[in-house]
Amino acid sequence: MKGFVIALLICSLVICDQNAIFLNETYYPGFISVNEKSDLFYILLESRSNPSTDPLVLWLNGGPGCSSLLGLFEENGPFKINEDATLRSNPFSWNSNANLIYVDQPVGTGYSHAGHGDLAKTEEQVSKDFYSFLTQFFDKYPQYLGRDFYITGESYAGQYIPAISQKILKEKNPNINLKGIAIGNGWVDPYYQQPAYAEYAYVNHLINQTQYKKLSAQFSICQVFINYEAPYRLQEYFCGPPYQQIVGNNTFNIYNIKSPCIGNGCYDDQDDRIYKFLNRTDVQYLLGTQGRIWSACEDNVSNALQKLSYRSSTQDLKVILNSGLKVLIYNGSLDYECNYLGNEKWLDNLEWNKQIEYLKQSYSYVFKGHKIIGKQKSAGNLKFQIIFDAGHMVPMDQPEIALEMINSFIQQ
């Protein structure tokens, strides 16, 4: 059965009313059904520059099961949330030169609803649902048909983005003009990223040499069970304890080792502000989300995908790179959870048609004026960039640099 779009009565036939609560940004909220029982919630924000010609950029948060509205309000959207649950403008929003869309996915995430038995258990199901969303989105907003389209995101989106992009390439839909993808601090290949926990902790003086040697040996065993695609419970049995030995015996913020950790998620104060804002009656009226309760992350969505915790998305990335699509992999240098050492390792070992050329490249510094702000290397259509003094959420920690980075990637 063809999906349908739930229209929002609060909006006119052309655009949603600009209003003071959303600081007079032009925005389009809505739900798109992906089957008879489940839907995905989105917010589309028009470009502040040239909405009729600027590209369309999609942002996805990870988790799995965490709302992309976290990215909207904490990272790269046009709003920041004040302590009193009101908004202030973000001058470094990614809609400065692009039309920007945030989607709560997979089904069951954030404002999105999952019918009984509809929670995604595979990346194939995630990509199938999202492709259904995209085809209907372009039907609803035909002004974006054929427009340059980029998929961006962070963390577990390192699994989502390759799966979704590979699905788009496979379908060969001329209306979806995918130009490139950008993955920030991504969870892509656990075989290489698990051992990097010990290496990163040692390099940053979070553990001593004796601990490092012991943990490295444990992670080597972990790699064996990942390599042989052992059942999840065995992978977790051998990979979970060494990770917990590092984070359990320390009080550092796993998302930014130089920032304080507030609450279990380290950013609970910010998440609480978003929760209060999105569950305000007047805000839900404007978004058309009455009767739904927003949450930052949904355990049931995460649990449904749990068995994929040690899955690699590199097979999809090979297809994407070999197709010629632009690929940006970026990392904040202060992130422990999906640290740059692990991403560096899987990138070096990725077998694609420009691998030899990539391995020959050395890092070059990235400057902002006379200040070194990071380093990068590239070959062909692949770029790897490390941003200094930023953690897991690069657009939150270094908003101006992140905006320049994404604009440069789109314009190259």
Q: Which residues are the active-site residues?
A: 155, 335, 392
Taking a C-beta distance cutoff of 8 angstroms, is the pair 29, 42 a contact? Answer: yes
Query: Token digits for 60?
Result: 């996805």
The DSSP letter of residue 370 is T
| Sole residue written with tokens 């976290």 | 70
Sequence-separated (6 or more) residues with CB below 8 Å from residue 239: 190, 194, 219, 222, 225, 226, 310
Decide the pairing of beta strands 27-33 and 177-184: unpaired
Helices (H), 80-176: 123-140, 157-171
CA distance 382 to 320: 10
The H or E element spanning position 196 is: helix 195-203
Sequence-separated (6 or more) residues with CB below 8 Å from residue 391: 185, 253, 255, 256, 257, 258, 259, 332, 334, 335, 397
Taking a C-beta distance cutoff of 8 angstroms, is the pair 354, 204 a contact? Answer: no
Nearest to 38, CA basis, from 68, 4, 70: 4
